[in-house]
């Protein structure tokens, strides 16, 4: 659930692939996992520690069990689901071609496709532009060439030891600064919660005084929304300024990835390779046949490292690396 909420798994279909590839999960079930089942699981607040049942008039009643995810994570899942719920599953994604759909043609900027081409005695993997009218239309590029160039590109992103140490110290300073300011943030959220309690009381008074079914329904919906916001704020307040682990532990995985993104790309898992694309690059990669990759836009952490290398420390905004409190 957390992987989907943070975008590590971009769609519910990727969640399905992830679960299908997990031997522990696969052995624990006897029926086929459908995408509708995943959507159903993601819509249940019980995993965040709350009970809801519309027919019984229950909405976000605190449960007794230990939640698997935070309510904030649950809301992030709902937000992502609302955006992608009706997006069709891409048919051009294939584990044999991890760059498929992400690399674009350097001439027409359309995503490249890929396929296996049958030779006299074997099949050969190729990437190609399938856009009619493009100068490179149907002109194939060997998989080992385009993916080899990509591995070279990843290797160029590895920072020097001194630069990496400097970045680590800078991010730790930002982490400490955010922790110091968390008390003021906590007080601000407490004031918001108090204001919402007052508004809820006023709405309840209005609800009691009205006889209109339409107005009653509107008030009830508004109260439900306010209860959800209060639940969110209450959880944030309880965890504000209390990171789950020290800086070194929380950021260890992130910095290991920044130090060598090629390591994750070398994984045999398709999801890991796709994760590298999302974590390293801010947009699709243009590739020109016989020339290679053009200049690519990297994601914020790698831009920050580049800024350090060039002496542009302002490229690292404090809000981009705040400590997680959930």
DSSP three-state, residue 281: strand
Please give the residue that has the higher pLDDT: either 187 or 251. 187
CATH number of domain containing 75: 3.90.1750.20
Which region holds residue 131: left if phi is over 0, alpha if psi is between -120 and 50, else beta?
A: beta
Query: Residue 70: inside a domain, yes or no?
Result: yes
Burial class of residue 297, CB neighbours in 10 A (0-12, 13-18, 19+): exposed
Per-residue pLDDT reduced to its tens digit, 196-253 = 889 888 888 888 888 888 888 888 888 888 888 888 888 888 877 776 677 777 777 7
Query: Residue 235: inside a domain, yes or no?
Result: no
pLDDT at 142: 96
Query: Residue 24: inside a domain, yes or no?
Result: yes
What is the domain range of residue 82?
1-89
Query: Residue 124: inside a domain, yes or no?
Result: no
Find the helix or strand (DSSP H, E) in which 289 lies: none
Query: Residue 228: inside a domain, yes or no?
Result: no
DSSP three-state, residue 15: helix
In DSSP terms, 128 is beta-bridged to 113, 140
How many folded domains does the chain comprise?
Answer: 1
Per-residue pLDDT reduced to its tens digit, 59-109 = 778 888 888 888 888 888 887 766 544 334 454 457 899 999 899 999 999
- What is the pLDDT confidence band of residue 25, given thresholds at 50, 70 and 90? low
Query: Residue 169: inside a domain, yes or no?
Result: no
**131 within 8 A of 112, measured Cβ to Cβ:** no
Query: Residue 33: inside a domain, yes or no?
Result: yes
Query: Residue 64: inside a domain, yes or no?
Result: yes
């Amino acid at each position: 659930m957390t992987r989907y909420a943070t975008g590590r798994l971009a769609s519910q279909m990727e969640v399905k692939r992830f679960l299908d590839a997990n031997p522990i999960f696969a052995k624990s079930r006897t029926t086929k996992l459908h995408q509708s089942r995943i959507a159903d699981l993601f819509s249940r607040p019980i995993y965040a520690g709350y009970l809801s049942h519309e027919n019984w008039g229950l909405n976000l009643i605190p449960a007794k069990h230990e939640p698997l995810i935070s309510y904030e994570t649950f809301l992030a899942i709902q937000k992502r689901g609302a955006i992608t719920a009706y997006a069709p599953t891409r048919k051009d994604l294939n584990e044999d071609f991890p760059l498929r759909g992400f690399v674009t043609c350097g001439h027409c900027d359309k995503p490249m496709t890929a396929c296996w081409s049958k030779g006299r005695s074997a099949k050969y993997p190729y990437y190609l532009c399938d856009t009619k009218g493009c100068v490179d239309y149907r002109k194939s590029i060997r998989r080992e060439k385009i993916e080899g160039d990509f591995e070279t590109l990843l290797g160029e992103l590895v920072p020097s030891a001194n630069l990496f140490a400097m970045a680590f110290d800078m991010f730790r300073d930002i982490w400490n600064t955010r922790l110091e300011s968390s008390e003021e943030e906590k007080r601000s959220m407490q004031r918001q919660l108090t204001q919402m309690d007052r508004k809820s009381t006023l709405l309840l008074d209005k609800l009691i005084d009205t006889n209109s079914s339409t107005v009653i329904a509107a008030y009830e919906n508004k109260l439900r929304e306010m209860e959800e916001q209060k639940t969110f704020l209450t959880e944030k307040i309880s965890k504000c300024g209390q990171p789950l682990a020290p800086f070194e532990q929380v950021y260890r995985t992130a910095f290991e990835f920044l130090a060598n993104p090629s390591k994750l790309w070398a994984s045999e898992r398709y999801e890991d390779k796709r994760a590298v694309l999302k974590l390293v690059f801010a947009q699709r990669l243009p590739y020109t046949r016989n020339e290679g990759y053009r200049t690519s836009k990297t994601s914020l952490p790698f831009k920050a490292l580049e800024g350090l290398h060039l002496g542009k420390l302002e490229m690292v905004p404090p809000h981009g690396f705040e400590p997680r409190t959930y």
